[in-house]
Structure formats: structure tokens, C-alpha cells
Structure 1
Amino acid sequence: MRTQLRWGYNFSFDARPQVLPTPASPHILVVGGGVTGLVTAWVLLDRGYHVTIVSKQWATYTSEQRLTSQIAGALWEYPPAVCGQHTDEQSLLKSKKWCMVAYRIWEAVAADAALSVAAGVKMQRSVFFFPGPIEDNPKQSRKLCEIYESGVQGVRRNPGLAEELGVESRCGAVDAYELTAPAIDTDQNMAWLMQLVQRKGARLVTECIAGDLLHQEKSLLARFHAHAIINASGLASRELAADPTCYPLRGALLRFINDGQDFPKIDTAMSIAADASLDNEIVFLVPRSHNILVVGGIAQPGEEELDLTLDSPAIRRMEARCKSFLPCLKNARLDPEYPLAQGLRPGRDKNIRVERENRQHGAEQSRIFHSYGHGGSGWSLSFGCAEEVAALVDDMLVSDQHQLPVRSRL
């Protein structure tokens, strides 16, 4: 399947790359096997590049620890996301552009019945609540105006949504708006993405690359016969990009059985952002496929260990908060196979980094590019960031050609 998206790039959802590579096509090494790495590989493959993806681990489907990309709530959001704020306006402006690229692509996936099932993507009614009139919160009021103008589907303000959905208004649900957003079953989609990029020609290598990429750039380029390296390693960028501004933002979700037996089946996503809630804590509920409702959340900066349990105080508070917000969850049953999901979101003090490495080898510019620091917004920003970093690679390779002697280019 091929589709012409509004942002002007022909994007292929089937095994055939949009632009077929030749033996002479450039080869790009992508470091990282999460959603950022896989989507970046997809964009590069459709531009006609050869791609190798290196990751120390891939998506798993057991009760053991899963990738951060699998732990995510993965409900598309217009920035800033519910789990945290951007620290500078430039990053926020870029994120607003990037998120709409992803919106259109996930929307196109959801519009195809077979593709929607295979990829685990659907368009989901999503409601965002506030403890007072939205206009009393200038940031949220401005955000709503931008959403109205963005082309997002189904945008409607309605203070009566709390009563309609059985939400306790005293928990910070006085005003609300709804929209229709892509909701992604992360386990299903990660499997689909891995299969898709391999069918398009990507080679997957399981390997742990350690240390500053800059110090091993030449050896990696030579070993993988690559023309460029894209670092999409998330939190590992503390080491691979020698970036001390990266930090873990620990998050967790509870997984309830959403089959209609213990409470009326929930088919609407609901949330209160940290900056909008009365106690500065996150509440969100997202229906997943296979009768699962994911409920959260927490955002704990600087917490490195994945040692939370169902009895951890933070988890018990999170559960109580969500059940107070939506009282029908009082008797909800946890998924016995996988009740608690936790992961380390890749935070960054300076926000998202999508750029060429600015350190040099003497007078020689690096051929490393970065896409990391997405925090809790990796799924929402995936395609926008991938497009931007791919364009940077394009520019470098065009510049390479311009710098060659005329005879060498013939």
C-alpha cells in the first residue's frame, strides 16, 4: 500500500521501498531498536538507502522487562505531553510540527482496515480534563486553540464530559475537551515495525555498542560499510553521545482487564496533565486491544532502577488516584500475566536533540546524527523527527558529492 500524505512525501506501507536502492546507494547505520530507531530506518529505506540497525535488545513479549517503547501509553498527544513540559520554546515549536507528521501517518495506517489490525493502530476518542475553566490556564487555553487550527479530528470542548464518562469532578475534572487521536498498541506495533523494516531490506544486528560514538566513528563506519551513523539510542545517549544532560524519567502503568465484567468496558482515553491537575500528578487511562486498559501514571526524574512493585508507595498512590478519578474502576482486575509495566523514559534537560554531531575530528566534521531525548513523546514525534534527521543525512551526502572533483562524480 502506498499513500500520498498531506506533507508531500510518498510513504510506502508495504515491503517495497518507495525508492528502490541500487548497489551504489549509501548505507546508513542506525543505533537503537526502539520506535525512534525503527521509524528512522523506515524513512531512510523509503528514501532508497541501505540500512543496518544495531541494538543490544529488541522488543520482547513475555512478563520480563520490555523495551521503553513498549511500556509507553502511546496515545498521540499534541505537545506538551501529559508526562512533562518542554523547557524551551524552540523545542516546543519543533515538536508541534513533528507531532503532526506522526498524526497523519498513524491516521493513514488506522484508515486501512487490514493495516490497522496488523499494526495495532486505531483512531481513539480522547478526553483531556482540567480542574477549572480552560481559559483560566493560559498555556492550556493556547494549546486548545492550536489544536483547533491543526487539523486534528473531532476537537470539541465540553465541560459535561466528566458526567458523561463517570469521572469524579472533584478529582480535577471541571472542564474538558475531546479529540480523535491515534492510539497504538505498542507490543503489536513494535512487532509490525520490525517486520516491515526487514521486509524493506534493513539488516538487524544484535550488539551492545558502548562508549562515545565519536571515538569509534571511523571504525563503525568501516565495519558496517556505512556513510553515516544515526544515534537513536534513547537514554543510552548519555554514553553514546557523551551527553550529561540526558536523564531517566521513570514511568509505570497498571494493566487492568477491560472486558466489561468488572466495570463497563471503557473505549475512551482520558487524562489529566501534571500541570493541569490539582496535585501536579498525572492521570491517564488508555484502552488497548485484547481487552486491556492501561492506567497511570508517574514521572520520576533521576530514578534509574526498574524496581517498582505493585506494593510500591508510588504505584499504590497511582492506583488510588486513578480509581478516585474513575470510580467504576474500584473492582478492576489486574492482568495476571503482566500487571505492572515500568520503564525509563529518555529525558533531556535541553529537550529533544535532532541534529548533526557538532564535535569534530580535527578539521573534519562528524558523520554522526542524533535523534534522542523524546521523553514520553517518542511515538507522537517519531515520524517528524525521522524525517528531519533523514533530511540532514540527505544534505550531508549531497554536500559530499559537491565536494568531489568533477571527474570523480562522473
Structure 2
Amino acid sequence: MARDHSIVNISLPGGNVITTSPVTHRTSTPLSPHVLVIGGGVTGLVTSWVLLDRGYRVTILSKAWANKSASSRLTSQIAGALWEYPPAVCGSHTDEVSLRRSKEWAMDSYHAWQALARSDIAKEVGVKMVRSAFFFATSVKDDEKQMEKMLEIQGSGVQGFQHSPSIISEMGVDPKCGAADAYELLAPAIDSDQAMHWLMDLVQSKGARLVTEELHDDLVLLEQSLRARFRADAIVNCTGLASLTLANDSKCYPLRGGLLRYINDGSKVPKIEHALSISADANAAGEIVFIVPRNDNTLVVGGYAQPDEYELNKNSKSSTVQRMRERAVEFLPELRKMELDPVYPFAQGLRPARKGNVRLERETRKSRSTIVHSYGHGGSGWSFSFGCAAEVADIVGGIIAEGRQRQNRDMIRARL
């Protein structure tokens, strides 16, 4: 039998496998456990994919879905969506346990996105492997934390690692911008618009049911009514910033950001085909620069990270955005020759950040709760997607097993 090159099988932790086939890896039946996933961003969709391929029935409830409107795109669509080893350029970790878990999630996701990028359906998915270079104000060897991170990356299993100051001139970076050292690796770069629509189509083809609705109360208070209404055996919260209310979590906060979108089709100036980032300590203002080829036609350039700012009131002419553009041009002068996309020049959104970083655990405020939380990913939703989804599925499996044991005990007692 000829191999179907459109089907990719991806290995996840614990020997579990997911597939791009519309048929789930483990077949579900009308009697299979049912999971309600709340949230239609990348975290919710990838989590649903993993649950479906473990044989669960899945309903996804979300107030909005991926769309093509410049004014109402989801945060997951606006994201830079370049895979990064944690901590990311626009993020930080103060908790060592959280950082360790994040590295595991990131590497699980790296291998999953890499498998898709190297497949025959990479263009359909919207992912490719690109040279991704990171630039530093001083020699990496003189910065203990950066040196430790670089050595971890080098030994992590990523492809294409190279450390050399020569990357600065090779990639056209102006050394006067503060770059003195650099390293690079091959990283998944995801066209988040394309990938979000592909993920939605995939989970629906596997049987997921989509419900458009917004919840306005603590899930602990809604748990029983939601379980009864959807006949759900477990609930997974992937609502990002909405977890401020839905998980009653005051640690959640927005990290406002924006991206300029350049035409990068090679018609007027040579295409930029690699990603570049410079750390915040390369300039006195602590500002970041990242440049990512989004697809064959678009280059996204950022950025800024403004905590606790909810208003999406910037545009391509705003002073913050103009300063961001100036920094990027100072860093990579060839940007000066490029034109902004006249239809969609600027995208902005709120990264769903959390003090203490990602929360991925079973609900703790109620005994034997069937709620699992996966939120607070900040700017790393795409980078952590598959790793977090696999861990969520493990926790859901434990909840389902616990429920079955309880049912069996109740049946035995009823017979006595």
C-alpha cells in the first residue's frame, strides 16, 4: 500500500502518538469519555487534538474563533509564533520549577513542529524551519545566565546550532546597534493565521464539536452545570487572560504587544528568510527587537511588552510603534528598503501573562474537581503548545480513571 504523505505521526511524551489524519489515533465511540475544552486559541486547539487522538470525545467552547479580520483576530493569530527556548525574549521566569517544566514543554513542542515543518503538508499547516539568530551586547561567555542558556540549547536536541560573532555581519546586522556576539539555531516559524485555521479544520475533522459562547463566572461555580449540560467527564481551561475571572486567578495580567507587518515577497527587495532577535540588555532602555518571516509574503517586526495595559489603542503611526520601527531599522538597516503591508500594516494584542508563569494543574480549590487548567503562557503559547497539551491529557486521564473507580465502588456498594 502506498504511503499517504499527507499524514504525519508525531510522538509525544509517554509513548503517545498524534496524527494529522482526520481519523483519530485511538478511535472514540459514543461511550468514550467526553472532555469540554474551554478556549479556542492555540492552547485549546492543540490540547483538543491530543485529547481526540487519545480516544476522547471533545467539545470546544470559545467566545471567538480564528478569523481574517484585522480588528478581531485572536491573540494566537497575532503572536510572533517563532519557537523559542525559555525564557523567551519578551518573557522571564523567576521560579526554577516553572522554568524546568517550560523547557520540557518547549522541547516536546519543538520536535512536534519540526515534524510538521519537514512533512509534505508543511505549507498547508503554515510552519517552516528557519535560521533563528540571537544577538547580545557582550560576549555570551561573559554573561553567566546567557552562557548557561546557550549551553542548554546546544545540548537540547535543536538543529543547526552555531555560536559565532560572525553571524552579526553575515545577517546584515549593524554592530553599532549594540550587538557584539550571536548564536543561531533552526527553529519552527509558524504562520499563525494559517496554522490556526488548519488546527480548527483538523480537530473538526476528528470529530470535535465547536460551541460559540462566553463564560462570565468562576469555573468552580460553573463546574457541575457545565458537566451536566455537556455530559462532560472533565473540563480543560485554556482561556488565557480570561482565567483572571474563570479561574479567579489574580496573578493573570495582560502583556500588551504589537507587530509591524512588512511585505516580504522579494518583488522589490531581497527577501529576509531568517529570524533575528536582540536581547533587551543591548540598549539602555531595555527594548527588544525581533524579526520573523511569517510566510512567503510577510515579515513581522516587533516589539514591545507593556504589562497591565488592556487598551488596544496603538496604530502604525503611534509613537511607541514608530520607536519600535526605528529600533528595528537601526538593528537591521535593510528593513529601511521594505514597505509595510498597506492592507494590514500593524497587529496588536494582549499576551496572556501570569505572575509565577504557566499554570498547568488540576483545580485545587475543590476536592476531586474535574477541572484542569492550562493558561498563563504569555508569549510562549506556540512554543509550549504540544508539551502542555500532552501533560494536560495525562491529568485528564487520571481524572477519568478516578471517576471510573468511583463508579465501580458505587456499583459494588449498591449490590451489597
Query: Match for residue 355 of structure 1?
Result: 361
Q: Deviations over 1:284-316 (max 9, x none)?
A: 000121411100001000000111112211101
Bigger mean CA deviation after superposition, 258-267 or 31-40: 258-267
Corresponding residue to 1:221 among 207, 220, 227 = 227
Counterpart residue identity of residue 273, structure 1: S
How far is the alpha carbon of 1:6 from its aligned partner?
A: 6.9
RMSD of aligned Cα (Å): 1.5
Q: For 2:213 and 2:101, locate their aligned partners in 1 and report how far apart those are by CA, in whole Å.
A: 32
Q: For 1:135 and 1:390, locate their aligned partners in 2 and report how far apart those are by CA, in whole Å.
A: 40
How far is the alpha carbon of 1:331 from its aligned partner?
A: 3.0
State how 1:11-410 maps to structure 2 within 5 Å: 11-113=18-120, 115-275=121-281, 277-360=283-366, 364-405=367-408, 408=411
Counterpart residue identity of residue 373, structure 1: G
How far is the alpha carbon of 1:276 from its aligned partner?
A: 5.2
Q: For 1:75 and 1:231, locate their aligned partners in 2 and report how far apart those are by CA, in whole Å.
A: 24
Counterpart residue identity of residue 382, structure 1: S
Q: For 2:353 and 2:281, locate their aligned partners in 1 and report how far apart those are by CA, in whole Å.
A: 17
How far is the alpha carbon of 1:240 from its aligned partner?
A: 0.4
How far is the alpha carbon of 1:405 from its aligned partner?
A: 3.5
Q: For 1:241 and 1:174, locate their aligned partners in 2 and report how far apart those are by CA, in whole Å.
A: 44
How far is the alpha carbon of 1:96 from its aligned partner?
A: 0.2
Counterpart residue identity of residue 369, structure 1: V
Give the direction of change, closer, same or farther, for the CA distance of 1:4–1:378 in structure 2 (3 Å limit): closer
Q: Deviations over 1:79-120 (max 9, x none)?
A: 00011111211111000000011111111101112x101100
How far is the alpha carbon of 1:166 from its aligned partner?
A: 1.1
Moved over 6 A (4+): none
* C-alpha contact (below 8 Å) 2:234/2:399 kept by paired residues: no
Q: For 1:406 and 1:279, locate their aligned partners in 2 and report how far apart those are by CA, in whole Å.
A: 62
How far is the alpha carbon of 1:274 from its aligned partner?
A: 2.4
* C-alpha contact (below 8 Å) 2:8/2:116 kept by paired residues: no
SS at match of 1:109: helix
- Structure 2 gap segments, 5+ residues each: 1-6
SS at match of 2:58: strand
Using structure 2 for the length normalisation, give the TM-score.
0.95
Q: For 2:238 and 2:126, locate their aligned partners in 1 and report how far apart those are by CA, in whole Å.
A: 23
Give the direction of change, closer, same or farther, for the CA distance of 1:17–1:250 in structure 2 (3 Å limit): same
* C-alpha contact (below 8 Å) 2:135/2:180 kept by paired residues: yes
What is the count of residue pairs matched by the alignment?
406
How far is the alpha carbon of 1:332 from its aligned partner?
A: 2.0
* C-alpha contact (below 8 Å) 1:131/1:278 kept by paired residues: no
How far is the alpha carbon of 1:20 from its aligned partner?
A: 0.4
Q: Deviations over 1:160-188 (max 9, x none)?
A: 11111111112121100010001100000
How far is the alpha carbon of 1:366 from its aligned partner?
A: 1.4
SS at match of 2:138: coil
How far is the alpha carbon of 1:356 from its aligned partner?
A: 0.5
How far is the alpha carbon of 1:216 from its aligned partner?
A: 1.0
Counterpart residue identity of residue 130, structure 2: Q
How far is the alpha carbon of 1:140 from its aligned partner?
A: 1.1
Query: Match for residue 16 of structure 2?
Result: 9
Bigger mean CA deviation after superposition, 86-95 or 272-281: 272-281
Give the direction of change, closer, same or farther, for the CA distance of 1:6–1:24 in structure 2 (3 Å limit): closer
- Structure 1 gap segments, 5+ residues each: none
Query: Match for residue 3 of structure 2?
Result: none
SS at match of 2:377: coil
Counterpart residue identity of residue 46, structure 2: V
Give the direction of change, closer, same or farther, for the CA distance of 1:275–1:46 in structure 2 (3 Å limit): farther
How far is the alpha carbon of 1:65 from its aligned partner?
A: 2.5
* C-alpha contact (below 8 Å) 1:84/1:274 kept by paired residues: no
* C-alpha contact (below 8 Å) 2:302/2:328 kept by paired residues: yes
Q: For 1:367 and 1:403, locate their aligned partners in 2 and report how far apart those are by CA, in whole Å.
A: 13
Q: Percent identity?
A: 56
Using structure 1 for the length normalisation, give the TM-score.
0.96
Q: Deviations over 1:31-69 (max 9, x none)?
A: 000000000000000000000000010011122231000
Q: For 2:337 and 2:88, locate their aligned partners in 1 and report how far apart those are by CA, in whole Å.
A: 29
* C-alpha contact (below 8 Å) 1:230/1:371 kept by paired residues: yes
